[in-house]
A and B are shown apart, each in its own frame.
Chain A
Amino acid sequence: ETGVTQTPRHLVMGMTNKKSLKCEQHLGHNAMYWYKQSAKKPLELMFVYSLEERVENNSVPSRFSPECPNSSHLFLHLHTLQPEDSALYLCASSQDPVDTQYFGPGTRLTVL
């Protein structure tokens, strides 16, 4: 049973829409992550938050905007996305940035 939940599980949006992905962890962890999983590519780390401060931003386009209001919640705000942004977006958490990461089920995003 995963301690990390993500909503929605599926999202279809147009290029002009604004939407948000939500992640919640129930494990008492201090670090949270957003990853992008695309076919035939390694898992791509997008953002890392440790103790609610962003510690990593891997040159992600500004159309992706993360928000971490507290250590249990993480959001990914989306606007003016491109079709190539279609992918599975995974949230994860860990006790600290080095330790085992626990993943949510992901949000399958399709951009039309």
Chain B
Amino acid sequence: AQSVSQHNHHVILSEAASLELGCNYSYGGTVNLFWYVQYPGQHLQLLLKYFSGDPLVKGIKGFEAEFIKSKFSFNLRKPSVQWSDTAEYFCAVNGNAGNNRKLIWGLGTSLAVNP
């Protein structure tokens, strides 16, 4: 069955620490990969996405993610977090054809950054 696994459910960091959030997926065929973020009291918004091309994707606010096909992974990274990065982060996957177009979501990772 198609699924997305986010290994870290809760992460607490101090400002300036480096961040890596894990995302693994189980999915047949060509995939599109997304990271969404939900800041406190705000709507879900796209952080970055991978459809094809360079597997290292740059997103907003200094975030990046690397698609490693052999590991079925799309981990999110940021070299130095800020207090304003406190939010819920969601990994999602879909395909390009038929029923595979449905977006499959991970459980989310809650990130708290202490000032």
Query: Which residues does A use to contact B, with CB under 8 Å?
Result: 2, 4, 40-43, 45, 48, 56, 90, 92, 97-98, 100-106
Query: Which residues does B use to contact A, with CB under 8 Å?
Result: 4, 32, 34, 36, 42-46, 49, 90, 92, 94-96, 101-108
Q: Tell me the smallest distance from the CB of A7 to a CB of chain B, in Å.
A: 14
In the bound complex, do residue B107 and residue A56 qualify as a contact, i.e. CB atoms below 8 Å apart?
no
Q: Tell me the smallest distance from the CB of A8 to a CB of chain B, in Å.
A: 15
Label chain A's interface by main secondary structure: loop
- A40-B34 CB under 8 A given contacts A97-B101, A103-B43, A103-B44: no
CA distance A44 to B96 in the complex (A): 19
- In the complex, what residue of chain A is closest to B106 when comparing beta carbons? A42
A-B contact count (CB 8 A): 43
- A98-B101 CB under 8 A given contacts A2-B43, A103-B44, A103-B45: yes
Q: List 16 A-B contacts (CB under 8 A).
A: A2-B45, A4-B43, A40-B107, A41-B107, A42-B108, A43-B105, A45-B102, A48-B102, A56-B102, A97-B101, A98-B32, A98-B94, A98-B101, A100-B46, A101-B103, A103-B43
Q: Tell me the smallest distance from the CB of A33 to a CB of chain B, in Å.
A: 8
In the bound complex, do residue A42 and residue B4 qualify as a contact, i.e. CB atoms below 8 Å apart?
yes
In the bound complex, do residue B43 and residue A104 qualify as a contact, i.e. CB atoms below 8 Å apart?
yes
Q: Which residues of A contact B95 (CB under 8 A)?
A: 98
CA distance A101 to B49 in the complex (A): 11
A40, A41, A98: which contacts B96 (Cβ < 8 A)? A98
Q: Tell me the smallest distance from the CB of B101 to a CB of chain A, in Å.
A: 4
